[in-house]
Chains A and B, each alone.
Chain A
Amino acid sequence: MNPLPLTNADEERFLIQRLARSGSQREHAAAQLFARYAPLFHRHFQRHGLRPAEAEELVQEVFILILRGASNYQAGAAPPSAWLWMIARNALISRHRRKEPVVDDEQAYTLALERLVADPEPTDDELADCVRRQFARFAAEHGERAEVLEHIAWHGWKPQDVATLLGRSPGATREYLSQCRKALRPYLEACREWLEET
Chain B
Amino acid sequence: MNHDERNREEDDDIAWLAILAGREPPGADPRTQREARALRRMLLERAPSAGSAPGPSWEAFKQRLDREGWPEAERPRRWVRMPQALAAGIALMVVSVTALYSVWSFRVLPDLSADFDDYPLARGDVAVPERFVAHPRRAVEGLKRQLKALNLPYRVQEVARGLQVEFYVGPEPAPSVASFLDEQNWSVGDDYWVRVLYREQ
Contacts and interface: CB of A to CB of B under 8 A. Distances in A.
Given A152-B21, A153-B40, A39 B51 contact: yes
Contacts of B70: 26-27, 67
A4 B49 contact: yes
Contacts of A181: 13, 16-17
Contacts of A183: none
Contacts of B45: 1-2, 121, 128, 132
Given A156-B21, A158-B21, A191 B44 contact: no
Given A2-B49, A60-B56, A159-B171, A154 B43 contact: yes
A71 B38 contact: no
A86 interface: no
A128 B37 CA distance: 10
Nearest to B33: A198
A68 interface: yes
B42 A40 contact: no
Given A127-B38, A149-B20, A191-B38, A40 B50 contact: yes
B42 A131 contact: yes
Given A5-B49, A132-B42, A181-B16, A38 B55 contact: yes
A87 interface: no
Judged by DSSP, the binding face of A is helix
A138 B23 CA distance: 24
Interface in A1-59: 1-6, 19-22, 26-27, 31, 34-40, 42-43, 55-56, 59
A1 to B, nearest CB: 5
Interface residues of B, number: 51
Contact of A174 (B20, B62, B171): B171
A131 to B, nearest CB: 5
A71 to B, nearest CB: 5
A195 interface: yes
A174 B10 CA distance: 9
Interface residues of A, number: 63
Given A4-B44, A5-B47, A174-B171, A34 B13 contact: no
A156 B53 contact: no
Nearest to A182: B13
Contacts of A72: 74, 76-77, 80
A150 interface: yes
B34 interface: yes
B3 interface: no
B20 to A, nearest CB: 5
A19 to B, nearest CB: 7
A69 interface: yes
A39 B57 CA distance: 9
Contact of A116 (B23, B46, B61, B76): B46
A195 B34 contact: yes
A38 B44 contact: no
A2 B17 contact: no
Contacts of B58: 31, 34-35, 38
B61 A60 contact: yes
Interface of B: 9-10, 13, 16-17, 20-23, 31, 34-35, 38-58, 60-62, 64-65, 70-77, 80, 118, 171-172, 191
The 5 closest A-B pairs by CB, nearest first: A39-B55, A153-B43, A56-B56, A38-B56, A71-B73
Given A35-B50, A39-B55, 6 more contacts: A5-B48, A34-B61, A39-B51, A43-B53, A69-B74, A72-B77
27 contacts: A2-B47, A2-B52, A4-B44, A22-B73, A31-B58, A39-B51, A39-B55, A39-B56, A43-B48, A43-B53, A56-B57, A59-B56, A68-B71, A71-B76, A74-B80, A116-B46, A128-B42, A132-B42, A132-B46, A152-B21, A153-B21, A153-B43, A153-B44, A154-B43, A159-B17, A159-B171, A174-B171
